[in-house]
A and B are shown apart, each in its own frame.
Chain A
């Protein structure tokens, strides 16, 4: 079955540590996205990528970094510069970026700070 996988389901970060969240898709989609979800704030866009080796900042990119070396993979690193990283992180993909394209979401990773 085609879909998006995110790992791990839960991730714990210590003070000053960088952590990387994995996102893989086998839908052959060109576009991929990372969102942060906090209670009552909806989904806020962190980064998106329209094609391999290209990505753009979203609304809240500070303290995060991404790479897109392969079409199927779009890992997100939460750096120590992100002072409030506790949130639910969602990865999504679509055939092409935006417009009328449906986004397909992974099951999410919950990041907690120790």
Chain B
């Protein structure tokens, strides 16, 4: 069975500082991995996804994530936080054929950006 753990329900950074949001997954077969962002009272939108091409994935708004199989991780980073990055971030995993192909979401991490 697949699962996702997001470490830290809240992460607080200063504007201009590095953003690091952690995601660890569990999967019985090679996974597909996603990061979505949710602004208050809105739906989710895709930031980036890993589908087995390059292990370093670049997404929108300057975010990127690195797939590390040995660590079963897919952490999201951004070199310099902007006030507009304040939102809820969700990591999700789905599996290739043979596994559970409907995505499972983590509990989310709320990113707070201080001026």
Q: Which residues of A are in contact with B by a Cβ distance under 8 Å? A: 4, 33, 35, 40-45, 48, 58, 88, 90, 92, 97-100, 102-103, 105-108, 110
Contacts and interface: CB of A to CB of B under 8 A. Distances in A.
Nearest to A110: B41
A108 B32 contact: no
B90 interface: yes
Name the residue in A40, A42, A58, A97 with the highest tally of chain B Cβ atoms < 10 Å from its Cβ: A42
Interface residues of B, number: 25
A108 B94 contact: no
B17 interface: no
25 contacts: A4-B43, A33-B102, A40-B107, A42-B105, A42-B107, A42-B108, A43-B105, A44-B105, A45-B102, A58-B102, A88-B41, A90-B43, A90-B44, A99-B96, A99-B97, A100-B32, A100-B49, A102-B49, A103-B46, A103-B103, A105-B36, A105-B44, A105-B45, A106-B43, A110-B41
Interface in B17-47: 32, 34, 36, 41-46
Contacts of A88: 41
Given A105-B45, A107-B42, A107-B43, A99 B32 contact: yes
A102 B102 contact: no
A33 B96 CA distance: 19
Contacts of A107: 41-43
A41 B96 contact: no
B102 A98 contact: yes
Given A98-B103, A100-B94, A105-B36, 19 more contacts: A35-B105, A40-B9, A40-B107, A42-B106, A42-B108, A43-B90, A43-B105, A44-B105, A48-B102, A90-B43, A90-B44, A92-B44, A100-B32, A100-B49, A100-B51, A102-B46, A102-B49, A103-B44, A105-B43
Contacts of B34: 102
A97 B101 contact: yes
